[in-house]
Amino acid sequence: MLRRADNELVTRVGPGTPMGLTLRRYWMPALLSSELPHADSDPLRVRLLGEDLVAFRDSNGSVGLIQNNCPHRGASLFFGRNEEGGIRCVYHGWKFDVSGQCLDMPAESDFRSKVAARAYPTTEKAGVVWTYMGPPERQPPVPDLEWMRAPAGYCWISRTYQSCNYLQAMEGGLDTSHSSFLHREFTPDGLTNPRARSTAPRLEVLNTDYGYMYASIRHLPDDKQNYVRVYHYVMPFYQLRAGGSPKSLGNTDGHMWVPIDDVTCWTYNFHFSHAGPLAYEEWQRVEHQMGRGLAEDYTPGTFKLKANATNDYGLSRERQRTVNYTGIQGTNTQDFAVQESMGAIYDRTREHLGSADTAIIQMRRLLLEAVRDVAEGRDPIGSRGQGSNVRPAQMYLPDDARWSETQLKDALVAQF
Residue 408 pLDDT > 80: no
**pLDDT interval class at 409 (50, 70, 90):** low
What is the torsional sign of CA 302, 29, 336, 217?
positive
Residue 317 vs residues 40, 174, 305, 327, 341: alpha-carbon distances, Å: 49, 28, 20, 6, 18
Element (H, E) at 240: strand 238-243
Residue 357 pLDDT > 60: yes
Selected residue with higher pLDDT from 234 and 292: 234
Half-sphere exposure of 240 (CA within 13 A, CB side): 30
Return the bridge partners of 28, or none.
131
Both 105 and 209 in a single domain? no
Peptide bond into 194 cis (omega under 30): no
pLDDT digits (tens, 9 = 90+) for 151-171: 999 999 999 999 999 999 999
Specify whether the CB–CB gap between 39 and 57 falls below 8 A: yes
Q: What is the pLDDT of residue 248?
A: 57
**Beta-sheet strand order (sheet of 27-32):** 27-32, 128-132, 122-125
CATH code of 283's domain: 3.90.380.10
Both 245 and 282 in a single domain? yes
Residue 196 pLDDT > 70: yes
CB burial of 358-391 (b: ≥16 within 10 Å; e: otherwise) equals: bbbbbbbebbbebbebbeeeeebbbbeebbeebb
**pLDDT interval class at 406 (50, 70, 90):** very low
Torsion of CA 9, 11, 12, 15, to 10 degrees: 100
81-83/86-88 β-pairing: antiparallel
Both 103 and 174 in a single domain? no
User: Rounded to an integer, what distance in angstroms lies between the CA atom of residue 407 and that of residue 416?
Assistant: 18
Residue 69 pLDDT > 50: yes
CA-closest candidate to residue 147, choices 387, 381, 401, 406 = 387
Both 343 and 239 in a single domain? yes
Residue 195 pLDDT > 70: yes
- Amino acid at position 40, single letter: D
For a pLDDT cut of 90, what percent of the chain falls above it? 78
User: Rounded to an integer, what distance in angstroms lies between the CA atom of residue 330 and that of residue 290?
Assistant: 4
User: Rounded to an integer, what distance in angstroms lies between the CA atom of residue 331 and that of residue 271?
Assistant: 14
Q: What is the mean pLDDT of residues 325-332?
A: 94
**Residue 370 covered by a domain:** yes
Q: What is the pLDDT of residue 223?
A: 83
Looking at 81, 111, 138, which one is the last position of a domain?
A: 138
Both 167 and 203 in a single domain? yes
Specify whether the CB–CB gap between 126 and 146 falls below 8 A: no
Number of structural domains the chain divides into: 2
**pLDDT interval class at 295 (50, 70, 90):** low
Q: What is the pLDDT of residue 37?
A: 97
Q: What is the pLDDT of residue 68?
A: 98
CA-closest candidate to residue 125, choices 398, 401, 388, 395 = 388
| DSSP notation for 291-342 | T-SSGGGBPTTSS-BSSSGGGGGG--HHHHHHTBSSS--SHHHHHHHHHHHT
Half-sphere exposure of 296 (CA within 13 A, CB side): 5
- Under DSSP, the state recorded for 25 is T
Selected residue with higher pLDDT from 99 and 244: 99
Q: How many CB atoms are located within 10 Å of the residue 191 CB?
A: 11
User: Rounded to an integer, what distance in angstroms lies between the CA atom of residue 230 and that of residue 403?
Assistant: 8
User: Which of 184-198, 302-316, 333-347, 395-409 shows the lowest per-residue confidence on average (mean pLDDT)?
Assistant: 395-409
Q: What is the pLDDT of residue 274?
A: 87
User: Rounded to an integer, what distance in angstroms lies between the CA atom of residue 360 and that of residue 173?
Assistant: 9
Looking at 100, 121, 138, which one is the last position of a domain?
A: 138
CA 67, distance to chain mean position in Å, is 23
Q: What is the pLDDT of residue 249?
A: 59
Q: What is the mean pLDDT of residues 222-248?
A: 88
Both 98 and 241 in a single domain? no
User: Rounded to an integer, what distance in angstroms lies between the CA atom of residue 135 and that of residue 106?
Assistant: 32
Q: % helix / strand / coil in the chain, to the nearest 5?
A: 30, 30, 45
CA 342, distance to chain mean position in Å, is 20
pLDDT digits (tens, 9 = 90+) for 383-398: 998 889 899 999 899 9
**Residue 217 covered by a domain:** yes
User: Which of 81-85, 135-139, 169-173, 281-285 shows the lowest per-residue confidence on average (mean pLDDT)?
Assistant: 281-285
Q: What is the mean pLDDT of residues 107-118?
A: 89
Q: What is the pLDDT of residue 407?
A: 46
Both 157 and 287 in a single domain? yes
Q: What is the mean pLDDT of residues 28-38?
A: 97
Both 380 and 277 in a single domain? yes
Both 166 and 289 in a single domain? yes
Q: What is the pLDDT of residue 416?
A: 43
Range of the domain at 258: 146-411
For a pLDDT cut of 70, what percent of the chain falls above it? 95
Strands (E), 335-411: 393-398
| Mean pLDDT, the chain, whole residue set | 92
CATH code of 133's domain: 2.102.10.10
**pLDDT interval class at 415 (50, 70, 90):** very low
Both 159 and 185 in a single domain? yes
Q: What is the pLDDT of residue 280?
A: 85
CA-closest candidate to residue 165, choices 269, 237, 213, 67 = 237
Specify whether the CB–CB gap between 361 and 190 falls below 8 A: no
**Residue 73 covered by a domain:** yes
Both 124 and 154 in a single domain? no
Q: pTM of the entire structure?
A: 0.94
**Residue 22 covered by a domain:** no
**pLDDT interval class at 46 (50, 70, 90):** very high
Looking at 138, 156, 173, which one is the last position of a domain?
A: 138
Q: What is the pLDDT of residue 410?
A: 52
